[in-house]
Structure 1
Amino acid sequence: MAEEFRLRSVAVAVYGPAALFGLAEGSMLPVVALSAIDRGATTSVAALIGALLGIGSLIANIPAGILATRVGERKSMLVAAGVTAAGLVLCLLNVGAGQSALLVYGAGVLLIGAASAVYSLARQSYLTETVPLHMRARALSTLGGTMRVGLFLGPFAGAAAMQVWGQPGAYYLSLVAVLAAGIVVYRVPDLETTEEHRAAAAAITTWGMIRRKWRVYATLGVGILLLSGIRQTRQTVVPLWAAHLGLSPTVSSVIYGCAGAIDALVFYPAGKVMDRRGRRWVAVPCTFVLGVSFVLMPLAHGPVLLALVAMVMGLGNGLGSGIVMTLGADVSPTVGRPTHIGIWNELADVGSGLGPLLLAGVTALAGLGLGIVVSGLVGFAAAGALWAWIPRTVHRVRRVAERT
């Protein structure tokens, strides 16, 4: 009963807004490039504007930790909701024509990316503080799962909205979802902290945290970077290989959706295994299965085989739901946790940026098939790094956290 009560106690505060933020993001993501092109962007410029989401997150990770330390996690989530809403309003504006319209739209996309970093850090820190260690992985895996559900439903809901209001309908839906998330967050209580705790946390600088925990960032952090790289790349390889096979966009979308459904089904069992057996029991299979799915993909010469490989990929990714957040929480200090999480998320975002670049570089030199295989080797490298550097048991996690 204590387990059920604990999970219910954070459902409204964290899981509800996470699903709404995921819905908002999933609704607008499919139309970002199209909206840029409608404002006069070339294909390359539209791709750059789409990349502003990731760039905004990279820029904001460290400031997000500072903000959460200064004003608290709940207020940080409210700030993120407000900034996201402002970014969506800019995306809806069509000021002038040509370059001016693109600049306004790009600024909106950048704001949304930055706000996502603030919200991600604040919700992770809030949940880590609220949930006891023996349920941490389940709680954070469920957090990742609810975000996935929102991202999965968002494109369908956005498509329905666009049937009524045209392309702006996707942004209208995103705006409503973000405002609803902000209302929910406004009604939840702040975390209880003392003045001494806040003062001690505020005294810890980013550079001070790096000096304090550099060994963790240089070992386990590298594993997280590699994991994030292959996870981000997986979003690209299925559509690319489908196009290589000459499949229609509709068939490609169905295959991608099947993988997403498998992805969204396994998050809670994975968290339960992590809590009971240790983090390595999920993190290593997650990365290994992802690596295997990449290596097998060039052997898929038709839609059925591609769908099977994509579902294996979805299984591997779903097993790792919440793993980056869980490991970041495990090695976080009690005082200065938001600062640490900001650095941790920066490592993950760097990996997310480098993974697709590796695929693009090898593909340009040696073809798509070899590019996918080389990207799969990143998964095997991540499995090795996580096997070597994840604390062996939950009890050792506690000892590591206490020492650092």
Structure 2
Amino acid sequence: MNDTAFSLKKIAVAAFGPALLFSIGEGAILPIIALSARNEGASVALAGLIVGLIGIGSLVSNIPAAMFIARYGERLAMVWAAALSVVALILCLIPGQVWLLAVGVFMVGMATSVLLLARQTYLIEAVPAHMRARAMSTLGGTRRIGIFAGPFIGAATMHFTGLPGAYWVGIVAIFASGVLAYMIPDLEDHKPGAAGAPAAPKIVHILRAHWKVYCTLGFGILLVSALRASRQIVIPLWADHLGISPTATSIIYGMVAAIDVLAFYPSGKAMDRHGRFYVALPSVLIMGLSMMLIPATVGMWSFLIVSMAIGLGNGIGSGIVMTLGADASPREGRTQFLGVWRMIADIGASGAPAVLSAITALASLALGVLATGLLGFMAAAVFWRWLPRSKSQPQPR
């Protein structure tokens, strides 16, 4: 590869197309899963659990997904992930069976893990090291764009077809993702059965060889993921606490998401030029401080300003989880290493809402929000201690 002549535009369709289409399909169904469960007679608690199954499916599938990708290659893994999701969404359309809806949502979470891990592995190999952060932040930004656009496409379809319309949008978008993935060739050394390919190391060997990285930077990534997941709950809950209308809350949330989306490419470029440390540290500090300022807001305008600061902090850290994982990953066993890395991040994302709920129940919402804000400062301490300051680009090992 001629690094100096490389451009992300040359691989844009192959690298980001399947992820964008898949995310549009996922975004179309996310807002209506709870409504579907309630329409099938589920309680509010059960509906909330079903919504959470998409994250649980991703969490438990990271390591199996890594093993599957290592054996069959990124392209076939994405095709099978799309096929699994299409079957899952068809199950969601079957009326009168809430358990089928739960199974379908869980399967979508499993497929999401496979697709994102496959794209991350592909980009590490296809993109030169000096552009790695831009590639990873663009992958993260592509997913955010899809999740942002999907609900609008689903809403437009539901206007004519009712609630099932969102699932049909998901089926069409994810099917298109699978077709596009099928048309994309594997990298030469990632084809199934490629000549000279070394035997894939076992997960236990990866854990033994890289436990220090997982316990240091991996812990920082867990905290970042927890902080990000918390913000998605804190913003609507505190808006309700202030008496802000649902419509105004949605607009605020959309503005926060817009800042998040706009910042992803500049974030990656800054990481490539100045080093990971000089983006990761400000990102978590801004998010942590802004989160701790949330309880001090007393009206819509102060709440809007602080919420947008949270979006800015999250946006400038776009791709940091995948970039640090890519930097730390070894050449042999890379997919397995990243599977464990994603599992650590998913543990943080899954556990944070539960911790926030527990603190809120035992004390108050304000104290719960303050506690989640501290996660940002804890992550900053981890990065200050273990994230290299070097501006030189990491090389594959």
Q: 1:197 to 1:247 in 2, by over 3 A?
A: farther
The letter for the 1-side match of 2:178 is G
The equivalences for 1:56-205 within 5 A come to 56-94=57-95, 97=96, 101-193=97-189, 199-202=197-200, 204-205=201-202
**Aligned residue number for residue 328 of structure 2:** 331
The letter for the 2-side match of 1:16 is G
Residue 345 (structure 1) aligned with residue 342 (structure 2) = yes
Paired residue secondary structure (1:395): coil
For 1:301 and 1:197, locate their aligned partners in 2 and report how far apart those are by CA, in whole Å.
Answer: 64
Residues 13-34 of structure 1 deviation map (CA, whole Å, 9 limit, x = unaligned): 1212221122111111100111
Alpha-carbon shift at residue 375 of structure 1 (Å) = 0.4
Alpha-carbon shift at residue 2 of structure 1 (Å) = 6.0
Alpha-carbon shift at residue 192 of structure 1 (Å) = 0.8
Residues 202-258 of structure 1 deviation map (CA, whole Å, 9 limit, x = unaligned): 2x0011100010010011100000000000111111110011111211111001000
**Match 2:390 to one of 364, 387, 393:** 393
Identity %: 49
**Aligned residue number for residue 9 of structure 2:** 8
Residue 219 (structure 1) aligned with residue 216 (structure 2) = yes
Residue 38 (structure 1) aligned with residue 39 (structure 2) = yes
Residues 57-91 of structure 1 deviation map (CA, whole Å, 9 limit, x = unaligned): 11100000000110001111111111111111111
Question: Gaps (5+ residues) in structure 2?
Answer: none
Q: With the length of structure 2 as denominator, give the TM-score of the two structures.
A: 0.96
Q: How many residues align?
A: 394
Paired residue secondary structure (2:244): coil
The letter for the 2-side match of 1:351 is G
Question: Gaps (5+ residues) in structure 1?
Answer: none
For 1:394 and 1:169, locate their aligned partners in 2 and report how far apart those are by CA, in whole Å.
Answer: 49
Answer yes or no: is the 8 Å Cα contact 1:10–1:127 preserved in 2: no
For 1:4 and 1:239, locate their aligned partners in 2 and report how far apart those are by CA, in whole Å.
Answer: 45
For 1:235 and 1:197, locate their aligned partners in 2 and report how far apart those are by CA, in whole Å.
Answer: 46
Q: Which moved more, 1:6-15 or 1:317-326?
A: 6-15
Q: 1:198 to 1:78 in 2, by over 3 A?
A: farther
For 2:75 and 2:389, locate their aligned partners in 1 and report how far apart those are by CA, in whole Å.
Answer: 33
Answer yes or no: is the 8 Å Cα contact 2:225–2:346 preserved in 1: yes
Residues 147-169 of structure 1 deviation map (CA, whole Å, 9 limit, x = unaligned): 11111111111111110110111
**Aligned residue number for residue 244 of structure 1:** 241
Answer yes or no: is the 8 Å Cα contact 1:69–1:201 preserved in 2: no
For 1:313 and 1:237, locate their aligned partners in 2 and report how far apart those are by CA, in whole Å.
Answer: 11
For 2:166 and 2:298, locate their aligned partners in 1 and report how far apart those are by CA, in whole Å.
Answer: 35
- RMSD between aligned residues: 1.5
Paired residue secondary structure (2:394): helix
For 1:364 and 1:3, locate their aligned partners in 2 and report how far apart those are by CA, in whole Å.
Answer: 55
The letter for the 2-side match of 1:336 is G
Q: 1:37 to 1:246 in 2, by over 3 A?
A: same
Q: 1:271 to 1:201 in 2, by over 3 A?
A: farther
The letter for the 2-side match of 1:115 is A
Residues 326-385 of structure 1 deviation map (CA, whole Å, 9 limit, x = unaligned): 000000011111100100000000000111112111111111011101100011101111
Paired residue secondary structure (1:393): coil
Q: Which moved more, 1:301-310 or 1:386-395?
A: 386-395
